[in-house]
Amino acid sequence: MTTAVLTKQEISINRDTLSEVLSNALQAISVKVSRPILADVLFKCVDGVLEVSSYNEQIGIKQRIDVEGNLDAVCIPARLFADTISKQPKGADLTLEYDGHSIIIKRGKSKSKVAVHPADEYPLIEIAEGQASTISTDDFIKAMPKVLFSTSTEETKQTLTGVNLNGTKAGSTDGHRLSVATLEDAFPGDSITVPSSTLSLILKLAGSSITPEIGVNLDERMVSFQIGNTELHSRLIEGQYPNYPQLIPQSFIHAFTLNRAELIQRLDIVMVMAAQKNDVVTLTFSPDSLVVSAEAGENGDSQEWLECSAADFEVSLNGKYFLEALKNLGSEDLRMHCNSATTPIVIKPIESGVEGDYIHLLMPIQKRS
């Protein structure tokens, strides 16, 4: 295959590599931007190292990729550029040329042109300059999915829209449920709350990385992560996070051991009817069984039976929250700890008969007569 001869203002890059980079960059570009330049990605390439930056004044991402060629710094409309690249044939080798006004995307005799903006208008990305440490990539990948789903999506609960990291504990709550995972490596600093959007992106980047450790830098306002050749800089969430350990009961009257996959299957069936009426499901335990049920008024009802050794006990829960917790538990079996129909239930994973460190707490629902 003939290698293209590159001019001073050209780079050569594979379509798939560039498409992935732009997909990551878009995570730090808001749909509604505070100023037009923040709808762009900043492109620059010096001595064969392409740096792509994106920023929404809360999260900033810098990605570095080895390419061929050089390119002066330029700002390119991110979504238009990403859509144009994504439509190129998979696996295609592309040449990007800067002519002083536009980026020209060339593939053989085909080409597309995207107008650009001056790079000197692009703001500096704020970074953390403080305590540095590292955490295990594998540990992060295992722990974060267990807590991210419990964060709040309500803007009025800003403090709860992130995950609280305090030593080896990662905790999240939306006011109705609570998840607590244990990390192998203590997170640097005291108690901090990181936006869930930041951690979700780090999780995505870590999942496709072969880097064994994630670099972390922390100061009073910011946290910075380094994964291979990618940096992610994020503001911390301000405000005091709830003292969630005090919400977890220290003793229980009942403990029910169940097969996770079987319970998910039964709950999935019942949720069809529960979705008709506020997602409420009822768990009715007896000495030899569990019945999972839902009522939908005149629309009907549903009951699913499981064999288990238990005691007489009944509790109603938000089935959607319960199902989400079960799917993120990750173990073959689980144990439900309960006291009464009005106090929190605690769910823990069980592997080889031993309870894990992970805790999920769910508040019961009081059914109306």
CA end-to-end span of the chain: 76
The first and second tokens of residue 165, run together, are 């990291």
pLDDT at 1: 44
Parts of the chain belonging to CATH 3.10.150.10: 10-121, 131-242, 248-362
In sequence order, what are the residues at sequence separation of 6 or more whose Cβ sits closer than 8 angstroms to the Cβ of residue 343? Answer: 249, 364
> What stretches in the chain show pLDDT beneath 70?
1-8, 368-369
Helices (H), 173-216: 196-207
The first and second tokens of residue 64, run together, are 């570095």
Q: What CA–CA distance (Å, rounded) separates 10 from 97?
A: 4
Cα 196 → chain centroid: 6
Using alpha carbons, select from 236, 160, 170 the residue that is nearest to residue 198.
236
The first and second tokens of residue 100, run together, are 């002083």
350 touches 332 (CB < 8 A): yes
Coil/strand/helix, residue 147: helix
| Phi/psi at 334 (5° precision) | -145, 160
In sequence order, what are the residues at sequence separation of 6 or more whose Cβ sits closer than 8 angstroms to the Cβ of residue 65? Answer: 13, 17, 21, 49, 50, 52, 229
Answer whether 0.85 is exceeded by the pTM. Answer: yes
pLDDT at 257: 93
pLDDT at 8: 67
The first and second tokens of residue 319, run together, are 């089935």
On whether the 10-121 domain is CATH 3.10.150.10, my answer is yes
Q: Please tell me the CATH code under which domain 248-362 is placed.
A: 3.10.150.10
State which fold the 131-242 domain adopts.
DNA Polymerase III; Chain A, domain 2 (3.10.150)
pLDDT at 295: 92
